[in-house]
Amino acid sequence: MKGVVVYDTSYGNTEMIARTIAETLSESGVEADLFHVKAVKRLNTDNYNFIVIGSPTRMGTMSLTVRRFLGKLKREEWVNKPIVAFDTELPDNLEHKEWSAAEKIADKLVEKKMNQLMPTLKTAVMGSKGPLKEGEIDRTRKYAEQLAFKLKVEKV
């Protein structure tokens, strides 16, 4: 089983979350490649069983680069494959689904008939440039451990 973690970042906070997810998956026995969204030309679905995508939340939505990336994912290649979406956002926004990049990413992928394996991971930054709120890395590790467990149980 192998997956890919794709992320965009403005100030490095979303990258830290993406790295934590990829590293925790690997430590849990689930192979995961990590790519900045601009480094991905095309994902060969023969190489990947699942995808994790993240973006900073800016003005209530995902980055333009992530939006373009999602538009290039071919539905027929990814149909029924598990997906997980995450973001970084201001603490006040965490309770508002409509202001979340992660929720919008997940919605776009579910429209492509991909399988949302877990609820979105929404992590808090303490200002538009960060830093991450204390405890978010630990919370992300726990989330990624649960993801690894689910991937193994469902034998993705």
Looking at residue 109, which CATH number applies to its domain? 3.40.50.360
Predicted model pTM: 0.96
pLDDT computed for residue 85 by the predictor: 98
Give a three-class secondary structure readout of 18-36: HHHHHHHHHHCCCEEEEEE
The pLDDT tens digits of the residues spanning 122-139 come to 999 999 899 999 999 999
pLDDT at 156 over 70: no
Give a three-class secondary structure readout of the chain: CEEEEEECCCCCHHHHHHHHHHHHHHHCCCEEEEEEHHHCCCCCCCCCCEEEEEEECECCECCHHHHHHHHHCCHHHHCCCEEEEEEEECHHHCCCHHHCHHHHHHHHHHHCCCEECCCCEEEEECCCCCCECCCHHHHHHHHHHHHHHHHHHCCC
pLDDT at 46 over 90: no
The pLDDT tens digits of the residues spanning 69-105 come to 999 998 898 999 999 999 999 998 888 778 899 999 9
Tell me which residue range forms the domain holding 99: 2-153
Instruction: Work out how many domains the chain is built from and give that number.
Output: 1
